[in-house]
Each structure stands twice: as C-alpha cells, then as structure tokens.
Structure 1
Amino acid sequence: MMSKIQSLETLGKLSRKLKAKGKIVVHCHGTFDLMHPGHIRHFEAAKALGDALVVTVTADRFVKKGIGHPVFREQLRAESIAALTCVDYVCVDPHETSEEVIGIIKPDVYAKGGDYEGKENEQGHPTAREKTLVETHGGRMHFTHDPVTFSSTALLNDHFSSLPESVRAFLDGIRARYSGDDFAALFEKIQKLRVLVIGDAILDVYHYSTFLGRSVKEEIPRVRVLGSEMFLGGSLAVANTLAGFCSAVGVAAVLGRQNPAREKQHERFIRDHLKRNVTPKFFFRDDAPTIINERFVNNEPTIVDKTTKVNMRKYFGLYHINETPISKDLEVTWAKRLKKIASGYDVVIVTDYGLGMLTDTLIKTIARFPTFLAVNTQTNSMNYGFNLITKYPRADYVSISQPEMRLALHDKHSDVEHLAEKIAKAVHAKTVAVTLGALGVLVRDKSGITSIPALSTSVVDNIGAGDAFLALSALGV
C-alpha cells in the first residue's frame, strides 16, 4: 500500500511513462476527509475510464472546509485511498489548488463527481479553470454519477463535529436564514465602501526568546533573544485588515519626528507594509517618537494534543512613546485637517488606544462627522482607568470588551445585557457589541439582544483579536 503513495515529482514521471506506453491516465483530486461509499464508487467509475488511476489529496494546510477540518490528517487520508484496489497511485498535493498537479500529471481524463457538473461553464469557478488546463494538455474532463449523493463535510459535521452544540445551532440558524447569494451581495456592498481608520499608529516588535532564569542577586528575569520581527500595529493593522474587504481604505495616524533619521526609516517601513489600497494620511509630532511596543515573548515549542505549538506567553514589554498632550494650536490644526480628510469616506472607524493622539477636541470633532462612526477604546498599562468609551459623545457602533465596559461604568456585578444597554444610552449608539472572550460576543441593537458563540476551538494568539473584530463587525452593522 505504501508503495502507492508517491511524491508529486515521482507521480509526474510515472504518468509520462504510462502515457508513452499508450496507457490512459485518469486523475481524481479532492480532500476526501472521510472515506464513504460515494468516494469508492467515484474512484471505481474513474478507473473504468482508463488504465491507471491517480488520486491527489489536498494537504491539511489548504483544506477550507470550516473549523476543525480536516478531521483526518493528510497521511491518513492518503493511506485510506491507497488501500483501495481500484487506485494505482496517491499523492498529497503540496499546492493550494489542483491547477499545479494537473500541469504535472497531464491526465488523459480528469474525473470529478457529478455534483460539480455545470460548474465547468461558470466563468471564474475552479472547475472551469481545471477544465481549461486539462484540455490544454490534451485531456478531457469527465463527471461520474451515482444515484446516492454523499458529502464528507456534511457527514463529519453531523457526526464528528469538533464544535460545541451551541456553535452548531448558531451556524445552522445562519444557514437557514441566509443563502450564499445573500453573503455574496453583502461582501459586494462592503467592497464598495470607503472606510477611514483613525487612531494611534503603533509598530509592534516581537523579540522571540527563551527564559534563562533569575539572577541570584536580583529579582530580574533573564532571557536569550533568538530573533526579532516588526509588524504594523494599532490603526495601521486595522487598515490592512479592512483592505482585504474594501477597495478604498484610508488611515489617519500620528508618526513621530523626534529622531528624524530613525523616524524616516519607520515611516518607510510603514508605507512599504501598508496594502496598496490603503491611503495613509499622517500627522507628525516633532517632540515624540513613532510609538513602538516591544514584547519579549516565549518562543519554546510545546506539545498540545500531539501537535507542536509555540507558547507566545509574554515575559515583559517596553513602550517607546511620548504621551504628553499636544499643544492647543496643533490640536486645532489637526481637527480641521481630520474633518477635511473624513469628508471623502462613508465609514469612520476609531481605534482609540489612549496613547496620545485622540484628545478631547479631536474626539468632539469626530463625533460631529455625518458619516457612520464605529468606536473602540482599549485599556492598557499606559491608560488604565482613563481611556473610557464614555468620553465619546456619539458613536453609531461600539465594540468593547466586557472588562473595559465594566470599568467605564464602574460596575463589577451587573449582568452584561444591562450594561450594554447603559453603554448604548451613554454614547447614543445604535449597536453595541461586547466581546466575552471564550464565551463569544453579545450584541445589543434595535432588535434586542443576540448572543454569538465563539467559533474558534483553539486559540493560538489573541493579540489583535479585538482590532480584527472591530474592523470586520463595523462593516456588517
């Protein structure tokens, strides 16, 4: 059985040799996460079309069947298929799509299940691209048919789902209320929005480290730095997230000029790493550096559920920042410019990290914008107790974590629904989303209270999760 499983390179050579001998090579491709009778009948029908049946299996990292998939790892899926008598060779495809393997195997017949029939005529559909490639190499596409239709994804979701019952029920409700066309129309609408992000520009620097221990004489942890990376953070990261969904995104943020030579390098790094459809509108402070947040994090691998994961636990951090208020004259100048910039956008998203950019005057200016306004204020070690959502006189949409909401309202014990209502009234918001960590999100809007369970079953790193949620949820409100 193991001799049937070959590398893609070897499979390409075998295909050429078989075709040189006049043999007909048939190719099937897919995830095949749960072997069922439909797959077996499909492979048997495909083998009947030629002399040798080659099956390529989608690699784990490219399976896009939803949370918790694939259930079976690529090697197990390959071995299950290789165990079938009708299959001659199997390969795990190292590419994201089938297009590369088709070009290497160059099958005489490319067989797909009957549920794909008709898709080969839809412009832009993967099946249409596969058909074109197969015919380019002298082959043809064939659809196998079976009176009984099976679906690995449906079977796994129904009987082997890794999702909690609450999540499955929520997703079933969404599926019942909305069609694929509904979501396509929503994303098309979102793509046309012009969105402006306002907030502190932050450069996040990660120092990947291992813990050495503590000094005998000093209570100071010592770490060995193994490597470092810099990323766009703050409003810059939010803008890049939005750029994947909207055609036109702007970002208004503050950069420093305290050390001109160094700050030019930072500005160049920022401009180079912003996505092409993000237009930066920078404000400058001569008395401050561009904000840098350095984190020293654990980079040691751990084994969790037989899977190697990196523990990103933070040892300590450093801020490079000047948080003193800007002058009143500069504040007025920035307010006028910000008003002019915002006039060209449909949506304004404020990411307020409380690091100095958003003063009372600027907040009042933003609150008067006629555009849809989404706001998130974050509490951190620099602003604890001072950067509260209640300082905003208006927001159409508020995204806030439960601890930050309780801090803003000075209320440790009231239920979340009641506090969400109070936040809505305080800032005149139509919609308030309260993030609850592993418990998901509670949304308060004109229709009442909606609870959305957390869809993730495994958290790798929660840094930036609130920013990503703010960006995408604001577009859907």
Structure 2
Amino acid sequence: MSVEDKIQSIEEIGQALSNRGNRRVVHCHGEFDLLHFGHTRYFKAAKRLGDILVVTLTPDRFIAKGPGRPVFNENQRAEAIANLEFVDYVGINQWPTALETLEIIRPNIYAKGNEYLKKKDVTGRLDQEKAKIESLGGQMAFTDDIVFSSSKLLNNHFDVFSEAAKPFLAELSQTTKATDLLALVDKIKGLKILVLGDFELAEQCLVEGGHAKLRRAFIQPSGALLGLITLKEFCELVDFLSVSTEDQSLIGPLIPASVFADLIVEPGLNYPTRRSYFDQATGFKRFSARHQTPFTPDPKVEEKILAKLEKKLGDYDLVLAFDNNGGVLSPKVRAKLGQKAKFLALLLGQPKAELAHQALADYVKVDYLAGAQRLFAKDAERWAKGAGGFKSGPALSLSDKQGGLTQIGKNGAKSLAPLVADSPQNLPIDWLSASFALAAPLKALGVHEDGVLLLCQAIGTLARQAASQPYGLEKMLFDKFVIALLNR
C-alpha cells in the first residue's frame, strides 16, 4: 500500500477494518510531534501483538504543549508515520481523546508505551480508554521498549520558548513538579464562588467606498464571561450576577451549563461594544475601536442587586469582580462587596488609570488585586503594603515592558514570570481575565508558590483559544499543557 493510500479518515479506516476476518487489529494513538527512534520501536512492538497496525494522531487544535506546538502539523506527522513500512493505516483524529476513535476502529488491542505504567495519569484519560476498549471486547496492552519524550526533546533542543522564558522554565522544572502544581489547582474544586461583571458586544463591519455595513454582532467571550469559561472546569459551585438587556438570546448559549446565572434586566442598557472594521474586497481588518453609549442606570435595578448581595454574600468563600467601569458594579455595589465579602478579588479592566483609581476607591477593602500594569504601576506596591487605606493582598499585574506576569506581595517583594506561550503584543486584558480567574481562588486558599504564575499563564493562553472553539476549555488540555511546559 502506498503512503497516500495508508492515510485515510477515521471513518474510512473503520469501514476497511469491518472485513478484517480473523486478523487482529492493533491501535496506537498519540501526538507524535517529532517522530523519533522511541516511536518506531513502540510501533514495531505494537505490530508484533497483531496483524494490522493502525496509528491515529491527535489533531493540531487539541495539542496543548506550549508555544510553537505542534512543531509539525497533523498532515506532516501523518505522512512521516505512513512512510514506516510496518504501519498499515494512519488517521487524523477528530476529537480531543481516542475514545470516539476506539468506538469506530474497534481494535483487538489498544497499545500504549510502557511509560504509562510508570507515571501518574493526572488527566484520568488512561482509565477512560481502558474502560472503553474493554467495553468493545478488546484489551489494553503496554509495550516494553526504550522510551523517549518528544516534549522533552523539543523543549530542550528546539527554539520554542523566548530567551527570557528558557531560564525561568529550566529553574522551575528543577524545583517544582507539574503534578504538585496540578494538585494545588484541585484544591479549589469545593469553593463556592460568586462572579460579577458585564458583557461586551462585538460587531464586525465591512467597509466599502467609505461606508461601513454591519456583518455580524455577537457577545464577546471576555472579562467575566471568560472567567466563567475558565472556572467551570475547576470549580463545582460558581454563581454569576450581572445585568443584561431584555434580549438575552446572545448570552444564554455562552454561559456554562454548570453556572447559575442571575441576569437582571436593566432598561436602556447599552453593552460596551468593540467594533472591528474589515475591507469588503480583501477581508483584511483595518482597525477596531471600543464604544460605550452613556445610559442612566435604574435605581430599582441597583436596589435589587444590593438586596441580593445583602442576603447571600456571606454564603460565598470568594467573590470575583471583573470591573470595566459600569453596569452591575456601581459605586454602591462596589462598597457593599468591599464591606461584606469574605475574600474579594478584583480585576480592574478600565482603559484609563484615573478610572481605575476611582473604581478602587469605591471598594476600600480588596484582598486580591489584578490589572494591567499601566493602570497602577506607581501605586501597586504601595497598595500591597496597605497604604492609602487599601487593605489589599498581593497584586497580580500584566507587565507591559517585560512581557510577563508580575506578582507583588504584601511586603512589596516582586516576582516575575516571563511569557512562555504568547508574545507581549498579543496580550489583551482578556488574557489576564482568565489568569485572574484561576489565581484568585488559589490566593483565597493561601497558595503563594511561584508555580502559580506559570499556572496563570497556561490557563490564560488556553482559555483565550477555547473561547472561540466549540469544545471550550477542558481541564485535560490544561493538565497536559502544564506537564509539557515543565518537561525538561
């Protein structure tokens, strides 16, 4: 069979194997990004277990191994494996795991490398795959041969990280285990959390001859909404309080099903709008601008919000406020949160420093503060020490100059984590929203390990990607990402 004929869709492979007769089918599945000697030994050992060897690949969109990964795209990886004479079929998976593929191919043996016997299965995926293959009448087998790690080889010998990130990751990998960091994340599962914040409308307009025509309008998965997308994978008890227009059709599908959302209708509300303009002929983006039409808040709506907070605020272990200057977080609501919340985490998303300072003054007490460094670069250390009447805990900020996450402790001490998975030019406040959503519960539990900064970077990158993907953010991808970053 030619290389081209070996590479088929999962469905085509399943159809071809439906007439296997007495021949035993062995199935290997993985990313195989940087095909190496260990992989070929693994495939050969698997082939000896049966008659037909099928290798399926994780598609590019589900590989969460850090910046620059995969190094080789799914078609390149498939072609490389198909060139091995002892491989009979190669397919590119369509899902995050092999569970659906097992159902279609129905192998007699699902073969894994012997490294899976030695390391802890933090994702729980191996147990799921074992249960699936056994339910189909097959069995899982482990090959016994030499083991290499593609991630370790790529991390150490390929230029996938920035120069600033390399020593940071190298040092952290010597002192910190990925499994220990992920165990910290598991601690936040039982926290009861309240999230407050507003929605942002996104509009895409086509420009032709000096005239703009609206092409599409949708709610942007940013701010508080991106925080919910992040939290739903790690916490079981998350509530959301916000204001909305009477038409909630754009909002409903975006709120995770596990989140209880209390949306209060605000008459005359105008969502902040980020409008992007695209050239009609070429489709290229020309520019974007943020608009917010002033409106007069209804005092009755504010009274409803205050009444709800007065009644239930004490039930929450943690409150996350995504403050973008308006909507649900009025001055009175801010003051109520500062006075009554057991632990208040605040993300300031205002576009100007003076607006951020004004908002912060309304809260008085903040236990954990986050925001772009340009908003409070001069005051963050002073606030962290409790000066100016602000009893603030450590502040997490986005560093404009160095391109990383800066954490300022109560004593004013700084720690900096260089960016490992994005460039500074591509980091909007939305990236910090996801990072903040994970950092805040950890801070509420008193976790201050340096590795938290790495966790925040990982979740920020994945949440931004997941917000625009149908499968959303999955904890399994996050776990794999963290493990890959420290695999050196």
Same fold (TM over 0.5): yes
Cα drift, residue 186 of structure 1: 1.9
Report the equivalent of 1:167. Answer: 165
From the superposition, tell whether residues 247 and 461 of structure 1 become closer, same or farther in structure 2 (CA, over 3 Å).
same
Once residues 414 and 36 of structure 2 are traced to their aligned partners in structure 1, the CA distance between those partners, rounded to angstroms, is: 42
Cα drift, residue 123 of structure 1: 11
Q: Residue 270 of structure 2: which of 271, 276, 291 is its match?
A: 291
Report the equivalent of 1:456. Answer: 421
Unaligned runs of 5+ in 2: 444-488
Once residues 210 and 333 of structure 1 are traced to their aligned partners in structure 2, the CA distance between those partners, rounded to angstroms, is: 40
* Pairing 1:43–2:43 present: yes
* Pairing 1:319–2:292 present: yes
Q: Residue 154 of structure 1: which of 152, 155, 159 is its match?
A: 152
From the superposition, tell whether residues 461 and 164 of structure 1 become closer, same or farther in structure 2 (CA, over 3 Å).
closer
Report the equivalent of 2:201. Answer: 205
Q: Residue 375 of structure 1: which of 346, 367, 390 is its match?
A: 346
Between stretches 383-392 and 125-134, larger displacement belongs to: 383-392
Report the equivalent of 1:415. Answer: none
1:192 maps to a residue whose letter is G
Report the equivalent of 2:322. Answer: 351
Between stretches 240-249 and 32-41, larger displacement belongs to: 240-249
From the superposition, tell whether residues 321 and 341 of structure 1 become closer, same or farther in structure 2 (CA, over 3 Å).
farther
Q: TM-score if structure 1 supplies the norm length?
A: 0.80
* Pairing 1:274–2:255 present: yes
Give the alignment of 1:24-103 within 5 angstroms. 24-103=24-103
Q: Residue 193 of structure 2: which of 189, 192, 195 is its match?
A: 195
Report the equivalent of 2:486. Answer: none
* Pairing 1:472–2:438 present: yes
1:371 maps to a residue whose letter is K
Cα drift, residue 370 of structure 1: 5.3
Cα drift, residue 235 of structure 1: 3.9
From the superposition, tell whether residues 243 and 312 of structure 1 become closer, same or farther in structure 2 (CA, over 3 Å).
farther
Secondary structure of the residue that 1:3 maps to in structure 2? helix
Structure with max Cα Rg: 1
2:270 maps to a residue whose letter is I
Unaligned runs of 5+ in 1: 215-221, 256-262, 304-309, 410-418
Cα drift, residue 125 of structure 1: 3.1
Secondary structure of the residue that 1:249 maps to in structure 2? strand
Give CA-to-partner distance per residue, 1:274-328, whole Å, 9 cap, x none.
Answer: 333433445565xx4233123321457999xxxxxx9666434443441x4766x
Q: TM-score if structure 2 supplies the norm length?
A: 0.78
Cα drift, residue 75 of structure 1: 0.9
Report the equivalent of 1:251. Answer: 240
Report the equivalent of 1:420. Answer: 380
Once residues 382 and 178 of structure 1 are traced to their aligned partners in structure 2, the CA distance between those partners, rounded to angstroms, is: 36
Contact 2:246 2:265 in 1 (8 A): no
Contact 1:289 1:320 in 2 (8 A): no
Report the equivalent of 2:5. Answer: 3
Give CA-to-partner distance per residue, 1:201-233, whole Å, 9 cap, x none.
Answer: 33x33222333243xxxxxxx223332323465
Between stretches 336-345 and 84-93, larger displacement belongs to: 336-345
* Root mean square deviation, CA, Å: 3.4
Q: Residue 399 of structure 2: which of 436, 440, 464 is its match?
A: 436
Give CA-to-partner distance per residue, 1:322-380, whole Å, 9 cap, x none.
Answer: 1x4766x9867754542332111111222222226544444333222251111233323
Report the equivalent of 1:258. Answer: none
Contact 1:119 1:125 in 2 (8 A): no
Contact 1:26 1:51 in 2 (8 A): yes
Report the equivalent of 1:413. Answer: none
Once residues 446 and 302 of structure 1 are traced to their aligned partners in structure 2, the CA distance between those partners, rounded to angstroms, is: 54
Once residues 264 and 109 of structure 2 are traced to their aligned partners in structure 1, the CA distance between those partners, rounded to angstroms, is: 60
Secondary structure of the residue that 1:165 maps to in structure 2? coil
From the superposition, tell whether residues 14 and 444 of structure 1 become closer, same or farther in structure 2 (CA, over 3 Å).
same
Once residues 333 and 298 of structure 1 are traced to their aligned partners in structure 2, the CA distance between those partners, rounded to angstroms, is: 38
Report the equivalent of 1:265. Answer: 247
Report the equivalent of 2:18. Answer: 16
Cα drift, residue 198 of structure 1: 3.2
Give CA-to-partner distance per residue, 1:402-428, whole Å, 9 cap, x none.
Answer: 22115xx5xxxxxxxxx4312322322
| Larger RCO (CA under 8 A, 6+ residues apart) | 2
Q: Residue 212 of structure 2: which of 202, 216, 223 is its match?
A: 223
Once residues 198 and 112 of structure 1 are traced to their aligned partners in structure 2, the CA distance between those partners, rounded to angstroms, is: 45
Secondary structure of the residue that 2:316 maps to in structure 1? coil
Once residues 49 and 240 of structure 1 are traced to their aligned partners in structure 2, the CA distance between those partners, rounded to angstroms, is: 43
Contact 2:162 2:420 in 1 (8 A): no
- Identity between Structure 1 and Structure 2 (%): 31
How many equivalent pairs are there? 435
Once residues 2 and 60 of structure 1 are traced to their aligned partners in structure 2, the CA distance between those partners, rounded to angstroms, is: 20
Between stretches 175-184 and 377-386, larger displacement belongs to: 377-386
Report the equivalent of 1:183. Answer: 181
Report the equivalent of 1:242. Answer: 231
Once residues 449 and 365 of structure 1 are traced to their aligned partners in structure 2, the CA distance between those partners, rounded to angstroms, is: 30
Once residues 209 and 339 of structure 1 are traced to their aligned partners in structure 2, the CA distance between those partners, rounded to angstroms, is: 43
Contact 2:154 2:160 in 1 (8 A): no
Once residues 368 and 97 of structure 1 are traced to their aligned partners in structure 2, the CA distance between those partners, rounded to angstroms, is: 46
From the superposition, tell whether residues 26 and 212 of structure 1 become closer, same or farther in structure 2 (CA, over 3 Å).
same
2:246 maps to a residue whose letter is K
Contact 1:163 1:457 in 2 (8 A): no
1:363 maps to a residue whose letter is R
Once residues 133 and 330 of structure 1 are traced to their aligned partners in structure 2, the CA distance between those partners, rounded to angstroms, is: 51
From the superposition, tell whether residues 363 and 90 of structure 1 become closer, same or farther in structure 2 (CA, over 3 Å).
closer
1:198 maps to a residue whose letter is L
Once residues 136 and 334 of structure 1 are traced to their aligned partners in structure 2, the CA distance between those partners, rounded to angstroms, is: 51
Secondary structure of the residue that 1:379 maps to in structure 2? coil
Give CA-to-partner distance per residue, 1:134-166, whole Å, 9 cap, x none.
Answer: 3333333221111x3211111111111411132
Between Structure 1 and Structure 2, which shows a larger proportion of strand residues?
A: 1
From the superposition, tell whether residues 428 and 145 of structure 1 become closer, same or farther in structure 2 (CA, over 3 Å).
same
Secondary structure of the residue that 2:148 maps to in structure 1? coil
